[in-house]
Amino acid sequence: MKVIDFHTHAFPDSIAARAIASLEAECPWKAVAPGTVAALLESMDSAGIDVSVLCAIATKPDQPKGILEWCGKVRSSRIIPLPSVHPDTPDSAGWVRRIAKEGFPGIKLHPMYQEFPADDPRMDPIYAAVSETGLFITIHCGRDIAYPPDDDRASPKRLADVIRRFPNLKMVCTHLGGWRMWDEVARHLLGGEVFLETSFSLTELGPQRSVEIIRAHGAEKVFFGTDWPWARQDEELANFRQLGFDKKQARRILHANAAKLLGL
Protein backbone atom coordinates (compact mmCIF):
# COMPACT_ATOMS: atom_id res chain seq x y z
CA MET A 1 0.00 0.00 0.00
CA LYS A 2 1.43 3.35 -1.04
CA VAL A 3 1.96 5.99 1.65
CA ILE A 4 2.10 9.79 1.50
CA ASP A 5 3.34 11.67 4.55
CA PHE A 6 1.56 15.01 4.30
CA HIS A 7 3.57 16.82 6.99
CA THR A 8 7.36 16.89 7.10
CA HIS A 9 10.01 19.59 7.52
CA ALA A 10 13.57 19.95 6.26
CA PHE A 11 16.09 22.73 5.78
CA PRO A 12 18.93 23.50 3.38
CA ASP A 13 22.04 21.55 4.32
CA SER A 14 23.93 24.75 5.15
CA ILE A 15 21.49 25.79 7.92
CA ALA A 16 19.82 22.54 9.01
CA ALA A 17 21.94 22.01 12.13
CA ARG A 18 21.46 25.61 13.30
CA ALA A 19 17.74 25.53 12.55
CA ILE A 20 17.16 22.32 14.48
CA ALA A 21 19.21 23.55 17.44
CA SER A 22 17.29 26.82 17.51
CA LEU A 23 13.92 25.07 17.44
CA GLU A 24 14.97 22.57 20.11
CA ALA A 25 15.99 25.46 22.36
CA GLU A 26 12.45 26.81 22.24
CA CYS A 27 10.63 23.68 23.40
CA PRO A 28 11.00 20.53 25.54
CA TRP A 29 11.32 18.27 22.52
CA LYS A 30 14.20 16.88 20.49
CA ALA A 31 14.33 16.16 16.79
CA VAL A 32 14.68 12.52 15.79
CA ALA A 33 16.83 13.31 12.72
CA PRO A 34 19.13 16.04 11.34
CA GLY A 35 16.42 17.79 9.31
CA THR A 36 18.02 17.59 5.86
CA VAL A 37 16.34 16.34 2.69
CA ALA A 38 18.82 13.46 2.52
CA ALA A 39 17.88 12.40 6.05
CA LEU A 40 14.20 12.65 5.16
CA LEU A 41 14.66 10.38 2.15
CA GLU A 42 16.57 7.90 4.31
CA SER A 43 13.72 7.92 6.84
CA MET A 44 11.17 7.42 4.07
CA ASP A 45 13.08 4.44 2.70
CA SER A 46 13.29 2.88 6.16
CA ALA A 47 9.61 3.48 6.98
CA GLY A 48 8.20 2.49 3.59
CA ILE A 49 6.88 5.95 2.69
CA ASP A 50 6.65 6.79 -0.99
CA VAL A 51 6.13 10.57 -0.98
CA SER A 52 6.59 13.31 1.61
CA VAL A 53 5.06 16.77 1.55
CA LEU A 54 7.77 19.16 2.72
CA CYS A 55 6.41 22.17 4.61
CA ALA A 56 8.47 25.36 4.56
CA ILE A 57 7.67 28.35 6.79
CA ALA A 58 8.57 31.95 5.97
CA THR A 59 9.27 33.39 9.42
CA LYS A 60 10.35 36.77 8.01
CA PRO A 61 8.77 38.95 5.29
CA ASP A 62 11.83 38.72 3.02
CA GLN A 63 12.05 34.92 2.98
CA PRO A 64 9.47 33.82 0.34
CA LYS A 65 11.90 34.28 -2.59
CA GLY A 66 14.68 32.17 -1.08
CA ILE A 67 12.23 29.52 0.10
CA LEU A 68 10.61 29.31 -3.34
CA GLU A 69 14.00 28.88 -5.02
CA TRP A 70 15.04 26.16 -2.56
CA CYS A 71 11.71 24.36 -2.98
CA GLY A 72 12.34 24.29 -6.71
CA LYS A 73 15.73 22.68 -6.17
CA VAL A 74 14.56 19.90 -3.85
CA ARG A 75 11.29 19.09 -5.65
CA SER A 76 11.19 15.54 -7.02
CA SER A 77 8.86 12.62 -7.56
CA ARG A 78 9.23 11.78 -3.85
CA ILE A 79 9.49 15.24 -2.29
CA ILE A 80 6.66 17.72 -2.83
CA PRO A 81 7.62 21.03 -1.22
CA LEU A 82 5.14 23.66 -0.13
CA PRO A 83 6.59 27.19 -0.26
CA SER A 84 5.41 29.84 2.19
CA VAL A 85 4.33 33.47 2.22
CA HIS A 86 4.63 35.81 5.21
CA PRO A 87 1.64 38.09 5.93
CA ASP A 88 3.95 41.12 5.94
CA THR A 89 5.64 40.28 2.64
CA PRO A 90 5.00 43.08 0.13
CA ASP A 91 2.50 41.90 -2.50
CA SER A 92 1.83 38.66 -0.63
CA ALA A 93 -0.97 37.79 -3.05
CA GLY A 94 1.45 38.21 -5.94
CA TRP A 95 3.78 35.68 -4.32
CA VAL A 96 0.90 33.20 -4.03
CA ARG A 97 0.22 33.60 -7.75
CA ARG A 98 3.92 33.09 -8.51
CA ILE A 99 3.96 29.89 -6.43
CA ALA A 100 0.96 28.63 -8.40
CA LYS A 101 2.56 29.58 -11.72
CA GLU A 102 5.68 27.59 -10.82
CA GLY A 103 3.59 24.47 -10.33
CA PHE A 104 3.51 24.02 -6.57
CA PRO A 105 0.20 22.65 -5.25
CA GLY A 106 -0.08 24.70 -2.05
CA ILE A 107 1.55 26.77 0.67
CA LYS A 108 2.36 26.29 4.32
CA LEU A 109 1.38 28.75 7.08
CA HIS A 110 2.05 28.78 10.83
CA PRO A 111 0.22 31.42 12.91
CA MET A 112 2.71 31.31 15.78
CA TYR A 113 6.01 31.35 13.89
CA GLN A 114 4.63 33.89 11.43
CA GLU A 115 2.91 35.96 14.14
CA PHE A 116 -0.67 36.24 12.95
CA PRO A 117 -4.05 35.08 14.28
CA ALA A 118 -5.52 32.74 11.67
CA ASP A 119 -8.56 34.99 11.18
CA ASP A 120 -6.55 38.25 11.03
CA PRO A 121 -7.87 40.46 8.17
CA ARG A 122 -4.29 41.09 7.01
CA MET A 123 -4.28 37.46 5.86
CA ASP A 124 -7.21 38.08 3.53
CA PRO A 125 -5.08 38.83 0.42
CA ILE A 126 -3.28 35.50 0.88
CA TYR A 127 -6.48 33.52 1.47
CA ALA A 128 -8.16 35.19 -1.50
CA ALA A 129 -5.20 34.50 -3.81
CA VAL A 130 -5.01 30.86 -2.70
CA SER A 131 -8.73 30.46 -3.41
CA GLU A 132 -8.43 32.12 -6.82
CA THR A 133 -5.43 30.09 -7.96
CA GLY A 134 -6.78 26.73 -6.79
CA LEU A 135 -3.89 26.10 -4.41
CA PHE A 136 -4.42 24.74 -0.91
CA ILE A 137 -3.17 25.92 2.46
CA THR A 138 -1.77 23.56 5.05
CA ILE A 139 -1.75 25.38 8.36
CA HIS A 140 -0.62 24.67 11.89
CA CYS A 141 -3.69 24.10 14.07
CA GLY A 142 -4.17 24.20 17.83
CA ARG A 143 -1.50 24.78 20.47
CA ASP A 144 2.23 24.64 19.80
CA ILE A 145 4.69 23.01 22.16
CA ALA A 146 7.05 26.01 21.83
CA TYR A 147 4.42 28.58 22.80
CA PRO A 148 2.32 29.29 25.93
CA PRO A 149 -0.75 27.07 26.36
CA ASP A 150 -3.11 30.05 26.13
CA ASP A 151 -1.90 31.03 22.64
CA ASP A 152 -5.03 30.59 20.52
CA ARG A 153 -3.85 32.13 17.25
CA ALA A 154 -4.33 28.78 15.47
CA SER A 155 -7.52 27.74 17.25
CA PRO A 156 -10.16 25.64 15.46
CA LYS A 157 -12.69 28.43 15.98
CA ARG A 158 -10.48 30.93 14.15
CA LEU A 159 -9.93 28.44 11.34
CA ALA A 160 -13.66 27.84 11.03
CA ASP A 161 -14.16 31.60 10.78
CA VAL A 162 -11.67 31.73 7.89
CA ILE A 163 -13.54 28.99 6.03
CA ARG A 164 -16.84 30.80 6.48
CA ARG A 165 -15.32 33.95 4.95
CA PHE A 166 -13.54 32.06 2.16
CA PRO A 167 -15.79 29.08 1.35
CA ASN A 168 -13.73 28.09 -1.72
CA LEU A 169 -10.47 27.93 0.24
CA LYS A 170 -8.95 24.46 0.35
CA MET A 171 -7.47 24.08 3.84
CA VAL A 172 -5.52 21.21 5.38
CA CYS A 173 -5.69 21.40 9.17
CA THR A 174 -2.67 19.80 10.81
CA HIS A 175 -2.63 17.79 14.04
CA LEU A 176 -6.17 16.45 13.51
CA GLY A 177 -7.52 19.98 13.45
CA GLY A 178 -5.98 21.40 16.60
CA TRP A 179 -3.19 20.03 18.77
CA ARG A 180 -4.39 19.79 22.38
CA MET A 181 -7.60 21.59 21.36
CA TRP A 182 -9.50 18.54 20.14
CA ASP A 183 -12.71 19.33 22.03
CA GLU A 184 -12.82 22.61 20.12
CA VAL A 185 -12.09 20.70 16.91
CA ALA A 186 -15.24 18.69 17.55
CA ARG A 187 -17.28 21.87 18.00
CA HIS A 188 -15.98 23.85 15.06
CA LEU A 189 -14.33 21.66 12.40
CA LEU A 190 -15.52 18.06 12.39
CA GLY A 191 -17.66 17.29 9.40
CA GLY A 192 -16.82 20.63 7.81
CA GLU A 193 -15.24 21.44 4.47
CA VAL A 194 -11.63 21.09 5.55
CA PHE A 195 -9.08 18.30 5.45
CA LEU A 196 -7.42 16.98 8.60
CA GLU A 197 -4.04 15.27 8.89
CA THR A 198 -2.80 13.10 11.72
CA SER A 199 0.64 14.51 12.57
CA PHE A 200 1.86 14.50 16.16
CA SER A 201 -1.57 13.49 17.45
CA LEU A 202 -2.15 9.74 17.39
CA THR A 203 0.04 8.89 20.36
CA GLU A 204 -1.30 11.67 22.56
CA LEU A 205 -4.94 11.04 21.70
CA GLY A 206 -4.74 7.27 21.85
CA PRO A 207 -6.39 4.85 19.41
CA GLN A 208 -10.01 5.26 20.54
CA ARG A 209 -10.15 9.07 20.43
CA SER A 210 -8.14 9.18 17.19
CA VAL A 211 -10.60 6.84 15.49
CA GLU A 212 -13.57 8.80 16.85
CA ILE A 213 -12.26 12.05 15.38
CA ILE A 214 -11.40 10.51 12.01
CA ARG A 215 -14.76 8.75 11.68
CA ALA A 216 -16.69 11.83 12.78
CA HIS A 217 -14.95 13.95 10.18
CA GLY A 218 -15.01 11.35 7.41
CA ALA A 219 -12.11 9.14 6.37
CA GLU A 220 -12.30 10.64 2.86
CA LYS A 221 -11.13 13.99 4.28
CA VAL A 222 -8.17 12.79 6.39
CA PHE A 223 -4.49 12.45 5.46
CA PHE A 224 -1.62 10.68 7.20
CA GLY A 225 1.14 12.97 8.47
CA THR A 226 4.03 12.75 10.94
CA ASP A 227 5.72 16.17 11.47
CA TRP A 228 9.15 14.59 10.84
CA PRO A 229 11.83 15.29 12.13
CA TRP A 230 9.84 15.87 15.33
CA ALA A 231 8.40 12.37 15.16
CA ARG A 232 9.62 9.13 13.60
CA GLN A 233 7.89 8.21 10.37
CA ASP A 234 8.05 4.47 11.03
CA GLU A 235 6.56 4.82 14.51
CA GLU A 236 3.76 7.13 13.36
CA LEU A 237 2.91 4.75 10.54
CA ALA A 238 2.80 1.86 13.01
CA ASN A 239 0.54 3.92 15.28
CA PHE A 240 -1.85 4.55 12.41
CA ARG A 241 -1.97 0.90 11.41
CA GLN A 242 -2.99 -0.01 14.96
CA LEU A 243 -6.18 2.04 14.62
CA GLY A 244 -7.94 -0.82 12.87
CA PHE A 245 -9.22 0.83 9.71
CA ASP A 246 -10.10 -1.59 6.91
CA LYS A 247 -7.98 -1.66 3.76
CA LYS A 248 -10.23 0.70 1.81
CA GLN A 249 -10.25 3.33 4.55
CA ALA A 250 -6.53 2.92 5.25
CA ARG A 251 -5.74 3.32 1.55
CA ARG A 252 -7.73 6.55 1.48
CA ILE A 253 -6.00 8.03 4.52
CA LEU A 254 -2.49 6.83 3.72
CA HIS A 255 -2.50 7.71 0.04
CA ALA A 256 -5.61 8.26 -2.08
CA ASN A 257 -6.99 11.39 -0.38
CA ALA A 258 -3.66 13.18 -0.42
CA ALA A 259 -2.83 12.05 -3.94
CA LYS A 260 -6.05 13.57 -5.21
CA LEU A 261 -5.36 16.94 -3.60
CA LEU A 262 -1.75 16.91 -4.80
CA GLY A 263 -2.75 15.97 -8.33
CA LEU A 264 -0.71 12.76 -8.34
pLDDT in tens, 123-133: 999 999 999 99
- Please say if the pLDDT value at position 27 is more than 90: no
Report pLDDT for 26: 87
Dihedral sign, Cα of residue 236, residue 185, residue 173, residue 212 = positive
DSSP designation for 176: G
Query: pLDDT per residue over 151-188, tens digit each?
Result: 999 999 999 999 999 999 999 999 999 999 999 999 99
Report pLDDT for 38: 98
CB 227 within 8 A of CB 193: no
Q: What percent of the chain has pLDDT over 70?
A: 100
Query: pLDDT per residue over 29-78, tens digit each?
Result: 899 999 999 999 999 999 999 999 999 999 999 999 999 999 999 999 99
**Number of domains comprising the chain:** 1
Mean pLDDT of 198-211: 96
Q: What percent of the chain has pLDDT over 90?
A: 98
Question: Letter for the amino acid at 146?
Answer: A
Report pLDDT for 174: 98
- Please say if the pLDDT value at position 148 is more than 90: yes
Provide the residue range defining the domain that includes 54: 4-262
For the beta sheet containing 51-55, the strands, ordered from the edge strand earlier in sequence to the opposite edge, are: 4-8, 51-55, 79-82
Q: Using only the alpha carbons of the chain, give its radius of gyration.
A: 17
Query: Angle, nearest 10°, between helix axes 202-217 and 233-241?
Result: 50
Mean pLDDT of 113-121: 97
Report pLDDT for 131: 98
CB 225 within 8 A of CB 255: no
CB 126 within 8 A of CB 162: no
Q: Is the pTM of this model over 0.95?
A: yes
Report pLDDT for 92: 97
CATH number, position 77: 3.20.20.140
Mean pLDDT of 89-116: 98
Mean pLDDT of 73-87: 98
CA distances from 107 to 110, 118, 205 (A): 10, 14, 27
Report pLDDT for 219: 96
Report pLDDT for 264: 95
